[in-house]
Structure 1
């Protein structure tokens, strides 16, 4: 007994499987990195100081143009974000940015690093103390993603 199998229809299967593998790797890595960023982001928001009442801020041109801005309590807290950075990422490196939006809260730098008249109240740098917890959260998220890919859930 003999038979013939035509595999011409399977042309490109290896490439498609490789692409699928890369997509799975990318999805799993993204799950882990997103979980890590979430820990640091959450901690930064918890540590961000919140004023009791609205406050005024003016930039370096205040003496020239007299412009000042009124900011409500929680502006810094609400300006903190986490965002995936595709331009700084690659197949082997996934990068999330955790920072504050400088347009929404232009005084965030002064709070984080202080001025000659006011000491620093570092919320972002102190949030980095949670990196070990972030790594554990990332590992857990990767494990969950691998379980999903494996079809166990």
Structure 2
């Protein structure tokens, strides 16, 4: 008994699988990372304190220079961002940064961790308690993107 198997189509299938794998790594993974970052970002904005009136911040050099900075209510909340990190991402890893812009709200560290004169009012660290929900959001968004790519197969 003799069997003959035509493997000429395997090369084309293999190429399609490699392409599909690359698309998943590039497009599906970034959707998941973005969804996770959004959950943490939204939570940090919820926890960010907003003062009732403008407040003054004294920088390190304020004693020497006399310069004081006045910040309006909501400045810290508005300074919270999420951004894709090209430098820390590659084909196998997608990274988003969630934090606050230190130039827009230089006092954020003191709010988060407190000072010798003021208690901490954390807004970033508590947002990390939502990591399980962030993972669920990522899975959901990746499933949607995968369905888009595969045409619902």
TM-score computed with the length of structure 1 as normaliser = 0.86
Report the counterpart of residue 63 of structure 1 in structure 2: 63
1:27 is aligned to: 27
For the structure 1 residues 23 and 95, does the alpha-carbon distance in structure 2 shift closer, same or farther, using more than 3 Å as the test? same
**1:86 matched to which residue of 2?**
86
2:144 corresponds to:
144
Match of 2:122 in 1: 122
Q: Which residue of 2 aligns with 1:3?
A: none
How far apart are the structure 2 equivalents of 1:123 and 1:21? Answer: 38
> Using a 3 Å threshold, how does the CA distance of structure 1 residues 117 and 38 change in structure 2: closer, same or farther?
same
- How far is 1:14 from its partner? 6.7
What's the offset of the Cα at 1:25?
2.4
| 115 and 33 in structure 1: CA distance in 2 versus 1, 3 angstrom threshold | same
Contact residue 25 and residue 92 of structure 2 kept, 8 A: no
Query: Which segments of structure 1 move beyond 4 Å, counting only runs of 4 or more?
Result: 12-17
Q: CA deviation at 1:123?
A: 0.3
Find the aligned partners of 1:24 and 1:113 in 2 and give their Cα distance. 39
TM-score normalised by structure 2 residue count? 0.86
Query: By how many angstroms is 1:63 displaced?
Result: 0.8
The CA RMSD over aligned residues, in Å, is 2.2
Q: Helix, strand or coil for the counterpart of 1:86?
A: coil
Q: How many residues align?
A: 144
Gaps in structure 1 of 5+ consecutive residues: 1-6
- Higher mean Cα deviation, 13-22 or 111-120? 13-22
1:72 aligns with 2:72: yes
**Structure 2: segments with no counterpart, 5+ residues:** 1-7
